Chain A
Amino acid sequence: MTTRLRVLDDGAWISVDDHREVRVSELWRLDTDEFCGCDLADLVVENFQTVGVDGSTVEVRVYGQCIACGASGTTGWIPVGRIRDGSFAAIDRSAIRRPRPETNQ
């Protein structure tokens, strides 16, 4: 069974099987030293750039800004949820997210 994943409306949200599941304007905590120098980036999600999957994990690349230090740019692949039994289950918005290390790009 395939899952349809899309970035729509100028990067405003992620569609999973034609349902709006993940939206901009949230603050995400990122555990990465690749986006900015903060121990824990406090990222405003401004635009979704791309969406993909790694196994059952739905991932996105996001344009945003760390409100702790002001660094802005596009992130690596960040998990936003999982597909379980054909349904999307979002990661809790307060979770600390770790971008997947780039391996083949």
Chain B
Amino acid sequence: MPTDVENWKSEVYGSEIRDHLFEFAERGFDSIPDDERDAWFERFKWWGLYHQRNGQEGYFMMRIGTPNGVLEPGQLRVVGEIADEYARGPGTNPIFGDAYADFTTRQSIQLHWIELSDVPAIFEKLEANGLSTQQACGDSWRNIVGNPVAGKDAQEVIDAWPVIRDLNETFKGNDDHSNLPRKWKVSVTGSADGSGQGDINDLAFEPAYKEVDGEDVVGFNVRVGGGLSRNEPRLARDIDVWVSPERVSDVAGGLSALFRDNGDREDRYNARIKFLVDEWGAERVRETLQEEYVDFDLHTAGRDVREEYTYNTGAGERNDLIGIHDQKDGTNFVGLNVLVGRMGAEDVLELADVAEEYGSGEVRLSQRQNVIVTDVPDDAIDDLLDEPILEHYSPSPSPFMRGSVACTGTEYCSLSIVETKNRQVRYARWLKENVELPDDVDQFHIHLSGCTASCAQPQIADVSLRGMKTRKDGEPVEALDVGLGGGLGAEPQFARWVTQRVPADEVPGAIANLIDTFAAEREEGESFRAFVARHDDDELDAFVDPEETDYDDPMMHNTKRTWYPYAEDDSLDSAPPAPADD
């Protein structure tokens, strides 16, 4: 039997939701009929609006999908202006203030406290500047990810940006692909660094060479069925297909249609294509694609460059895109660390100024929640580095700052079990002050996810932290499970969950003890990931060794029982009413 969500989608879904959304915005939040709220909130996701958690009724998270993380000149300023004007609510974050933008692990942007009545004005401003929230959430093609510096990167094998643009234009607002069984996450990468993180996407195009008519041609190998959520992480499976850039849209559309027609619409927990690939196997996916969804002969897989991958691998160069890097046109891109991906609206506007002054005005977002200023000439680099804003958003940050990734957490998210972003900021600051990594280790990735949805991609970090609970002195407190040794690359590996339910205030001490042991017992030049790989779970559990330190955690209570964890009177009974329609 189809789920309620499927029934709602069969009634109204896709582009047509917009007219209803605007009508509700015009008539006010209360005009949504009481018995239709679940249905409309589910549908609004397709237009990038996600109702915030209980206690924050009537406020929405708005996600802006920026394909491949590309913000063309002027667009970052628009984001900053919208954040400044509209992303202000009744709660003030003690670290980030009143208005901010979140850069996500899928190269999108999230704003909070958005009121329904402001949506038409925001959409108008976004769309006038080439930006959109369309399909940023919901059951369809999500924001397409990849190497954010596609087209500019001196190291790339093939420029994936035209391919991504074409896919975005073809499959956004496309009625044949607007109602899928579940979300559909696509990665297209043209660089040899692996920064598109294709392995953890539903559909991945990765650079590969193929001999076609006697010539070595650059195109993409295809993998299907990756993803991290729900305690069921999967690496995308190789379906033995190589495709030329010109045919990517045909193959992507074929696989999207295959998913549309064969995905499970009766059980949303079983709906992602990773489960269909589990059931069918890669060979049947390929056969079905060939027989039913494309009208040309598929090539077998080409020669990939996975051996060269470095991004998020835990060793070698370019584990991220922070710092100064060569562009193929002789200028540079400068990756700046945005701790946990959150940037105050004023800083967003200032960064837009800086990008215009020293580069082309363009800015790009990475899957490590960081920002990249592109097109900076050699002779402008020193002046750019002297800009005050780069003291905070650094191109050469502490390993603990640059390695931190965090999801939204209980501040706004219904699913999260613990506070995340502010906690990860506190962790990073404490680790920076108190823990020394070996001299030759300049990267250390710690990802904090509030639950098993894995929005912070915890399974592919050196240290993976996932929201949990425990009791301390008999009282329930926020806690984290600790996983170790995850990473991507030629041999991707999910973290092993070695220590469970560490009280959140003992996690910094646990990481400090772990790093002490790593520093003392590693082999010459050994990476942390390799160190983890040669120890069993019991040994690693002993290395973690949770301990109280002078780290103080003010959010040990059940932050979900608050209307906003940082409010002076945070009880759910004190939650503000839904915003008035002014």
Q: Please, which residues of chain A bring their CB within 8 A of the CB of B416?
A: 25
Cα distance A11–B36 in the bound complex, in angstroms: 19
B417 near A44: Cβ-Cβ < 8 Å:
yes
A1-33 to B contact mask, C-beta < 8 Å, 1/0: 000101011111101011110011111000000
Of B210-218, B251-259, B345-353, B468-476, the one with at least 4 CB within 8 A of chain A? B468-476
Q: Please, which residues of chain B bring their CB within 8 A of the CB of A24?
A: 414-415, 417, 451, 560
Cα distance A4–B34 in the bound complex, in angstroms: 12
A70 near B501: Cβ-Cβ < 8 Å:
yes
Q: Please, which residues of chain A bring their CB within 8 A of the CB of B410?
A: 25
Question: Assuming A11-B269, A27-B469, A67-B468, is B38 touching A46 (CB within 8 A)?
Answer: no
Cα distance A71–B493 in the bound complex, in angstroms: 24
A13 near B35: Cβ-Cβ < 8 Å:
no
Closest Cβ of chain A: how far from B458's Cβ, in Å? 14
B54 near A44: Cβ-Cβ < 8 Å:
no
B453 CB within 8 Å of chain A = yes
A75 CB within 8 Å of chain B = no
Closest Cβ of chain A: how far from B34's Cβ, in Å? 6
Closest Cβ of chain B: how far from A51's Cβ, in Å? 11
Q: Please, which residues of chain A bring their CB within 8 A of the CB of B558?
A: 25-26
A27 near B415: Cβ-Cβ < 8 Å:
no
Beta-carbon nearest neighbor of B471 in chain A: A67
Beta-carbon nearest neighbor of A13 in chain B: B414
Cα distance A8–B3 in the bound complex, in angstroms: 11
Beta-carbon nearest neighbor of B32 in chain A: A18
B545 CB within 8 Å of chain A = no
B449 CB within 8 Å of chain A = no
B54 near A23: Cβ-Cβ < 8 Å:
yes
Beta-carbon nearest neighbor of A72 in chain B: B231
Cα distance A88–B468 in the bound complex, in angstroms: 28
Q: Please, which residues of chain B bring their CB within 8 A of the CB of A47?
A: 230, 415, 452
B32-60 to A contact mask, C-beta < 8 Å, 1/0: 00111110001000000000011000000
Closest Cβ of chain B: how far from A62's Cβ, in Å? 13
Closest Cβ of chain A: how far from B116's Cβ, in Å? 16
Size of chain A's interface in residues, with CB distance under 8 A? 26
Which of under 10, 10 to 19, 20 to 34, or 35 or more describes the interface residues of B?
35 or more
Q: Which of A12, A18, A44 contacts B37 (CB 8 A)?
A: A18
A57 CB within 8 Å of chain B = no
B249 CB within 8 Å of chain A = no
A42 CB within 8 Å of chain B = yes
Q: Please, which residues of chain B bring their CB within 8 A of the CB of A27?
A: 469, 476
B85 CB within 8 Å of chain A = no
B4 CB within 8 Å of chain A = yes
Q: Please, which residues of chain A bring their CB within 8 A of the CB of B571?
A: none
Beta-carbon nearest neighbor of B453 in chain A: A10
A18 near B415: Cβ-Cβ < 8 Å:
no
B500 CB within 8 Å of chain A = yes
Q: Which of B153-199 contact A (CB under 8 A)?
A: none
Cα distance A4–B37 in the bound complex, in angstroms: 12
A35-56 to B contact mask, C-beta < 8 Å, 1/0: 0000000101011010000000
Cα distance A70–B479 in the bound complex, in angstroms: 13
Q: Which of A13, A19, A44 contacts B468 (CB 8 A)?
A: A44
Q: Which of B444-495 contact A (CB under 8 A)?
A: 451-453, 467-471, 476, 479
Closest Cβ of chain A: how far from B7's Cβ, in Å? 11
Q: Please, which residues of chain B bring their CB within 8 A of the CB of A67?
A: 468-471, 479, 501
B14-46 to A contact mask, C-beta < 8 Å, 1/0: 000000000000000000001111100010000
A15 near B501: Cβ-Cβ < 8 Å:
no
Q: Which of B53, B229, B468 contacts A65 (CB 8 A)?
A: B468
Question: Assuming A9-B414, A65-B468, A67-B470, is B476 touching A15 (CB within 8 A)?
Answer: no
Q: Please, which residues of chain B bring their CB within 8 A of the CB of A23?
A: 53-54, 414, 560
Cα distance A8–B54 in the bound complex, in angstroms: 13
Cα distance A50–B515 in the bound complex, in angstroms: 42
Q: List 18 A-B contacts (CB under 8 A).
A: A6-B38, A8-B42, A9-B415, A10-B268, A10-B415, A12-B414, A23-B54, A23-B414, A23-B560, A25-B410, A25-B416, A25-B418, A26-B558, A44-B417, A46-B417, A46-B452, A49-B269, A67-B469
Give me 16 other A-B pairs in contact (C-beta within 8 A), A20-B414, A67-B471 excluded: A6-B4, A6-B38, A8-B38, A10-B230, A10-B268, A23-B414, A24-B451, A25-B558, A26-B558, A26-B560, A46-B452, A47-B230, A47-B415, A49-B269, A67-B501, A70-B501
A contacts, CB < 8 Å to B: 4, 6, 8-13, 15, 17-20, 23-27, 42, 44, 46-47, 49, 65, 67, 70
B contacts, CB < 8 Å to A: 4-5, 34-38, 42, 53-54, 229-230, 268-269, 410, 413-418, 451-453, 467-471, 476, 479, 500-501, 558, 560
